[in-house]
Amino acid sequence: MDPLALGARFAVLVASGLALVLVHRLRGSQTVRWRQVRTRLLFGLPLGTVLTAGLLAVIYLFVQGGYGHDHLLTLPFVSWSLRYPLGMVAAPLAHQSLGHLVGNLAGFLVFGTLAEFAIGHYPQTRGQAAFSSLRTNPYARVLGFPAGVVLVALLTSLFAWGPIIGFSGVVFAAVGFALVHYPLVTVAGLIGQEFLTTTFWTLRNPIQTASAGTSYGAPWWANVAVQTHLLGLLLGVGLGVAWKRFRTDTVRTDPWRLFVASVLVGSSLTLWALWWYSGVERYQLFRAPGFVLLLGVAVLITVAASLRRSPIADLSARQVAVGLLVVPVLVMGAVALPVNLTATGAISAPGNAVTVADYEVGYAEAATDPRYEPLNVSFVESPSPPTVSGVIVASEQRHLWTRAVSAGRLANADRATVTLGGLGWRESVEIRRTGWEAVGGDAAFLVRAAPGAEPPTAIHASDSATADAVVAGRAITVAPRNGRFEVTVESKAESTQSATQERRPVPEPGENVTVGGLRIEHDDSSLIAGHEDTRVVVFRAAGA
């Protein structure tokens, strides 16, 4: 362990402790607030929230392999289909990366605590004793809170449109529940969430060194699962409104305060980020419609939580309020169920795929995603269904078909690792992209996959690439053939306009070969074409 990093962590902890002690002494003894907390929470602690956070950490570390492995196992824990029960159950409790987990844990520790405080471990109604029944038993309530959280998590998985992974739907449910009871405190909780995230990364990487470099990825908003977030928020608000109306002694929330808080929270949590595909690795962000959606959701929350007189004669205000939130959730569920049950026929990876247990790993350019074949979204500027390019993983047993690595990311990094597995097993597949980029033209490349200790297998060969430069009237082309690269020189006879071609394997580094009257040299990761006194770089190596 780096002594400098260890010392920096120690300094952070000492400084934090000294700051807390100093502020506590300046304020003096304050026991009223602590008593208030202890009247609602067992030992004054949000034990249900802590237990839930512990469950998420255990799943990440030991089920997904976050502890002791370089690459996290995610594919078997995605809600690919209602026909895949493991994914439906595990998806809302698993995570895509450490950053994904930390962000959700920080949010849940803040907003889950507010929700648990609003519910309380002790009965708040006069005349009820704490241990008079199972419903009023504080220990039962502590255990009941994470049980309810898991139930909400399963609902977010069931009603989500398409595959999901992550706890964010439950985090939004906790936000919605807290928002109904403590609007302004919930807004302040956003700052608390950011502080917890900063604290974690400060302790994990107290001193960080970085350098400039290239990276590849989709825009951040294309990774936002807005529908799942909205579903979780409405579930949380609905439960919060039902609980608040069940507790008839609670104070009425000011509508303006709740509306402003809802807008601020929704804006901060990017509830406005509506997007869709716009081609291969292209996306459209509908910011203005998303903002209108944000305002509509804020109005819906405000009306549902503040309604005191029913506009419908046969229904009470409580029934109308809950109905305003239940109906959108049921509509989303009605859409989600057929989408998640959609059959995609025989599921297989394209190309010369390699097989690992029930998985297939292949590569494709502009392949149609079978998950979206039944959909027709013609009002946006995109091919419908959307197409994807890159490393494809498929499993008919798991109803899985997904792009594990995009073509652009693989071209940028030249290599990637795809981790496959299930409960109790895992295996990594190393992906390598090698090839030649024509100067002023396209690239010719091979994609190879090596499962475990097996030798690499070529799973994709691209089309040929021709250099823009013409040397001594000859065109130069490189193409992948039979797992290797060949260079072709084509010349045309001026008298007959007939073309002649000669083909040879690309020479090894430091060597050269004569092809079609040109000398082709492999020098310093470049192919140089020479004729008499002319030497021109026509291709550059790409990939490991």
Tell me: do 152 and 282 sit in the same domain.
yes
Query: Do 471 and 416 share a structural domain?
Result: no
Do 323 and 264 share a structural domain?
A: yes
Q: Are residues 362 and 487 in the same domain?
A: no
Residues 149 and 18 in one domain: no
Position of tokens 């594919």? 75
Q: Please give the C-alpha separations between residue 153 and each of 202, 327, 499, in angstroms, as whole numbers.
A: 30, 19, 66
The letter for the amino acid at 414 is D
How many domains is the chain built from? Answer: 4
Half-sphere exposure in the Cβ direction for 136 (13 Å, CA): 11
| Among 26, 71, 60, 48, CA closest to 119 | 48
Residue 213 lies in a domain: no
Which residue is it, tokens 């008919």? 396
C-alpha neighbours within 13 Å on the C-beta side of residue 312:
10
Does residue 231 sit in the same domain as residue 278?
yes
Token match 């040109």: residue? 518
Per-residue tokens: 51: 């237990």
What's the burial of 369, exposed, middle or buried (CB within 10 Å: 0-12/13-18/19+)?
A: middle
Both 110 and 255 in one domain: the answer is yes
Residues 363 and 492 in one domain: no
Strand order in the sheet with 400-406: 354-356, 359-368, 387-395, 400-406
Three-point CA angle 200, 14, 104, nearest 5°: 15
Query: pTM here?
Result: 0.87
212 is a domain residue: no
Within this chain, do residues 283 and 174 fall inside the same structural domain, yes or no?
Answer: yes
Please report the pLDDT score of residue 160 as a whole number. Answer: 87
Residues 445 and 468 in one domain: no
Range of the domain at 402: 354-460
The answer to whether position 347 is within a domain reads no
Tokens 């297989």 found at: 348
Residue 481 lies inside a defined structural domain of this protein: yes
Last residue of a domain, one of 445, 460, 475: 460
Query: How does pLDDT run along the chain (544 residues), one tens digit per residue?
Result: 688 888 888 899 999 999 988 887 887 666 666 677 777 888 888 999 999 999 999 999 999 999 989 899 999 999 998 889 999 999 999 999 999 999 999 999 999 999 999 998 887 665 566 666 777 788 889 999 999 999 999 999 998 888 899 999 999 999 999 999 999 999 999 999 999 999 999 999 998 888 887 777 788 888 888 889 999 999 999 999 888 877 755 557 788 999 999 999 999 999 999 988 777 778 899 999 999 999 999 999 998 888 777 676 666 666 777 778 888 888 888 888 877 776 556 678 888 899 999 999 999 988 887 766 655 554 445 445 677 899 999 998 898 999 999 998 999 889 999 999 999 999 999 999 999 999 888 899 999 999 988 899 999 999 999 998 888 888 999 999 988 999 999 886 555 566 788 899 999 998 999 998 899 999 888 999 998 888 999 999 987 5
Shared-domain flag, residues 170 and 108:
yes
Q: What is the dihedral of CA 117, 121, 126, 130, to 10 degrees?
A: -170
